[in-house]
Amino acid sequence: MYKRPNLYTSYESESQILPTWTQKALMAFFIIQLFLLPFSIPVLNDDIPGLSWLPLIGDGIPLFRFLGDGEWIRASTKVLMLIVAAHGLNLLSGVAGQVSLGHAFFMGVGACTATYLGSASGSTTWGHSLPIWVWLPGAGVAAALIGIFVSPVAVKLRGLYLAIVTLGLVFLGIHLGNTSWGAKIAGPPALGRKAPELDIRLWKEEDPLINMSDDGRWLWFDIAEEGKRYLLYLVLAIGFTLLAKNLIRTRTGRAWQAIRDRDIAAEVMGIAEFRYKVQAFAISSFFAGVAGALFVGLSGQTLATDFGLFLSVEFIAILLIGGAGTTSGAIVGAFLIYMMPQFVEEATKWLSDQESGVTGVVGDTILTEGDDLGFINTSTVTPGWTLSVFDWNIVLFGVLIIVFLIFEPLGMYGIWVKIRNYWKRWPFSY
């Protein structure tokens, strides 16, 4: 109600994803900013007769100075792909309580299926050159079917035993990708294979409806290839976020949460534990399969070794740092986990360029090229006890996981809840 945002007069109004108009307006503004990210500040259009008043998005300054650059647009696009995959693991581990270290395996299944369906066949490879509206959902369906196939064994296990079984799937996937049979789909083990194009076609016509592979012009807007991919991935990320959020609010989502909290009590209350766990594996695998297809669509190369153990651990870190069991936690975690190395690298470059002042002293203290006393090595070779920027990102990775597990198990979502509750109670802190 007006000026009473916490007073609900119906169950429907209380169960909305964004129950207040303030939240709706802020979310709409945020989404609009996301869609404007690839574009530049409007400049006056003098080229079109009679439309000189019309703003033209062209070669101006990006709306977001660094995120609007091509390099950061590509990084933002990968974050959107990680969000889709993180939602899948969040439904399985965060909501249903099934610990899984095999998320990378199902992403690999989706990547290989997308390559098989969307890429052209060759002398040593298989392919069908199907359009994106076939190979993208097909990648999710193939991963979901394999998830259903392995779930009867997996759902009989709990905790560490389930984690070990799903971890074995990752090594199995890498081995299958390196076999001669797997090479017909994913290409040679060391070289990989060209991924399917993201062009939107009706079928196999030569000229696509929307060309995603080159720079172009939409209406009055100039847009680069990276911007097109970003907008496509943004639409998909928003769609899968809404799907994940609404799944949690359904009867199935409530059953998953009951199984996670007390599986024996849930079964006594009439919840079919086996059936709901199989559903969780299938839906999570579908999300992972679609994310795997988007992964190779962004990288342009299908390589079985990309879907290894480190990628699975990366998703565990996303849930732990963002907040397991929450949709917003998966989004925030994906952003922090992937963007953190980018920010560290940029900060390192900035510090290395400082020659005077406090920042210059800090840079000389922690940075080195092999001869100084710093512990972060900025050269291509890292002799002795120094570590490269990439190595320090891995160290920071592990430190964050440990810190959040010990001090804030709910991740960034838990920190937000504490801040929100503090201001709701203020000035009464008790």
Q: Is the sign of the CA dihedral 277, 280, 281, 282 positive or negative?
A: positive
Q: Which helix (H) or strand (E) holds 388?
A: strand 387-388
pLDDT at 131: 92
**Cα separation of 70 and 38, whole Å?**
8
Counting DSSP H helices and E strands in the chain, the numbers are: 16, 9
Domain boundaries, the chain: 19-65, 66-353+386-425
**Tokens for 164?**
């070990």
- Three-state SS at 377: strand
**Cα separation of 42 and 247, whole Å?**
39
pLDDT at 134: 94
Specify the pairing of strand 55-56 against strand 43-44: antiparallel
Ordered per-residue pLDDT tens for the chain, 430 residues: 455 556 777 777 777 888 888 888 999 988 988 888 887 655 444 554 554 444 444 445 455 544 556 677 888 899 999 999 999 999 999 999 998 899 999 999 999 999 999 988 887 888 888 999 999 999 999 999 999 998 888 778 877 888 888 889 999 888 888 887 777 888 777 777 888 889 888 888 888 888 888 777 765 667 778 888 999 999 999 999 999 999 999 999 999 999 999 888 998 989 998 999 999 999 999 999 999 999 999 988 888 888 988 888 889 889 999 999 899 999 999 998 888 877 777 777 777 777 677 766 666 666 666 555 555 666 655 555 566 666 777 777 788 888 888 888 888 988 888 888 888 777 776 5
**Cα separation of 423 and 427, whole Å?**
8
Please, where are the H alpha helices in 90-131? Answer: 103-118
**Tokens for 312?**
């699975």
pLDDT at 53: 45
pLDDT at 369: 63
Look at the pTM and tell me if it is higher than 0.75: yes
Task: Indicate the burial class of 110 (C-beta count within 10 angstroms; 0-12, 13-18, 19 or more).
Answer: buried
The residue type of 8 is Y
Distances (CA, A) of 348 to 358, 361, 364, 377: 15, 13, 11, 10
Q: How many angstroms separate the most distant Cα atoms in the chain?
A: 74
pLDDT at 11: 74
pLDDT at 239: 96
